[in-house]
Structure 1
Amino acid sequence: MTRGVVRIGDTVRRPASVASPFVRDLLGLLERRGFEGAPRHLGRDESGRDVLSYVPGWVPVRLRPWTDAQVAAAGRLARAMHDATRGSDLAGRHEVVCHHDLGPNNAVFRSGDALPGAFIDFDMAAPGSPLEDVGYMAWLWCVSSKAATRAVEVQAAQVRVLADAYGLAGPERDVLVDAMLERQARNVRFWAQVRARIPGLTDRQVAERIAWSRREHAHTAEHRQVFEAALA
């Protein structure tokens, strides 16, 4: 969604944005606290672009089913990232700093074992609740309304894999399905408002993304009891 991003050697150059100062500070915090699953901020280049370290691996171009091992690795990575921000000035009065877009499309998979080893694209990061990220992950890593995808019981089992790997327990685990539904509803609003921010995005493409988000919300709501039973 960000135009003008290029790789130069072992660096990635991104056009600066209003989010750049927060992303710079967040990536610096993650580095200082020993979290290795994110790029490093290396400053600005002569054109004013943010310079980030290049994370080797591959990024999927579309959503698809993932293995339990991949889902679990993503859950552990998210927990480590959240833990690295707890109690920080950036988190403020909130529990953690959320990425807010932890789909597989923002994960770098290692070439050796095909497990997600890093997250990228922190432009939407902001203080928040862990459930904002985990609910979104449970949806995009584990759940799909497509008729040709895996049975809902298999999807629910993977939601449990994610919750277990993240270490979600107590009341937060009890409301994970609500968090999924909330993020799906929020996605509808996001695409309704994003038209002017993405050059070249057509009204038809926006309508398709809104319709997809609504189908996903309806699917999760219809099978809510299956998901909740798997988490119990």
Structure 2
Amino acid sequence: MESEVPLAGGRITQGVVRVGNTVRRPVTASSPFVAELLGHLERQGFAGAPRHLGSDEAGRDVFSYLPGWVPARFQRWNDPQVAAAGALLRGLHDATRGGRLAGRHPVVCHHDPGPNNAVFSGDVPVAFIDFDTAAPGDPLEDVGYMAWTWCVSSKPDAPPASAQAAQVCLLADAYGLDVPSRARLVDAMLDRQARNARWWRNRLAGPGPRVADDHQIAERIHWSEREHAHTAAHRETFTTALFG
């Protein structure tokens, strides 16, 4: 029997392991939808996601292992990496656009397409992993989150807002965002930052088991709120870049 190698990086789902060329994850409430979605993506020829391979003898979900590396932390990404991420997200959305799984919504959103859920081949993001939060939605939910987590940072040593805004514009271009959606993108970024703070605040107030300790959760709330304040303070800079 092949050995199980724990996979680090997941902040929500515990007990994820690699076994040979597969990844095993505990079954969750979202497992049936994820299995159906990944099957649909495979039939559509979208290569930027793992394949669902059924379940193992322990009842865990089994997925194909995607070779490459997953960033351990958020960091500064260069322009080609940002553009590749935007194009990858557009490919995901187009593969579900107008389909049954999207329901009354335009697409199925990943809902967490940050660098921490991207598999890189060399220096380029080529696939998404961790589809547990995938659900029908508006494309801007994902584009707003991606613009925030790939391009924007409130850290003191981060590039100036003008440089961050230029990358947000690059991302929008790579995704192929239309003019009406570009006008809503900054609001989408702010919405995802506020929702992230709210999600972690609910984890702090809710019953166990916790996905992180109280200090870690408080830090994530503070970070989300700081990022929201940064984006709001530079709204005009971001908006101008999108229409420059």
TM-score when normalising by structure 2: 0.92
Question: Shift in Å at residue 199 of structure 1?
Answer: 3.7
Matched residue pairs, number? 230
CA distance in 2, matches of 1:20, 1:156: 37
- Residues 147 and 227 from structure 1, CA distance in 2 versus in 1: closer, same or farther, beyond 3 angstroms? same
- Aligned AA (2:156): A
Question: Shift in Å at residue 81 of structure 1?
Answer: 0.3
Matched with 1:59 is: 70
2:198 to 179, 189, 193: 189
Question: Shift in Å at residue 125 of structure 1?
Answer: 0.3
2:32 to 21, 33, 41: 21
1:150 pairs with 2:159: yes
Matched with 2:90 is: 79
Matched with 2:217 is: 206
Matched with 2:4 is: none
- Residues 147 and 40 from structure 1, CA distance in 2 versus in 1: closer, same or farther, beyond 3 angstroms? same
1:218 pairs with 2:229: yes
Listed as ranges, the matches of 1:80-95 within 5 Å are 80-95=91-106
**Secondary structure in structure 1 of the residue aligned to 2:23:** strand
- Aligned AA (2:126): G
Matched with 1:123 is: 132
Question: Shift in Å at residue 197 of structure 1?
Answer: 6.3
Matched with 2:111 is: 100
1:71-90 deviation digits (Å, cap 9, x = unpaired)? 00000000000000011111
2:187 to 174, 178, 181: 178
Matched with 1:41 is: 52
Question: Shift in Å at residue 192 of structure 1?
Answer: 1.1
Question: Shift in Å at residue 193 of structure 1?
Answer: 1.7
Matched with 1:167 is: 176
- Aligned AA (1:186): R
CA distance in 1, matches of 2:40, 2:203: 29
TM-score when normalising by structure 1: 0.97
Matched with 2:144 is: 135
CA distance in 1, matches of 2:130, 2:136: 16
**Secondary structure in structure 1 of the residue aligned to 2:163:** helix
1:145-169 deviation digits (Å, cap 9, x = unpaired)? 0010111111000000100000001
CA distance in 2, matches of 1:23, 1:178: 28
1:11 to 22, 28, 35: 22
Q: Percent identity?
A: 66
CA distance in 1, matches of 2:203, 2:42: 31
- Aligned AA (2:78): T
**Secondary structure in structure 2 of the residue aligned to 1:121:** coil
**C-alpha RMSD over aligned residues:** 1.0
| 8 A Cα contact 2:203 2:210, kept in partner | no
CA distance in 1, matches of 2:209, 2:151: 27
1:23-77 deviation digits (Å, cap 9, x = unpaired)? 0000000000010000000000010000000000000000000000000000000
Gaps of 5+ in 1: none
- Aligned AA (2:111): H
Question: Shift in Å at residue 194 of structure 1?
Answer: 2.5
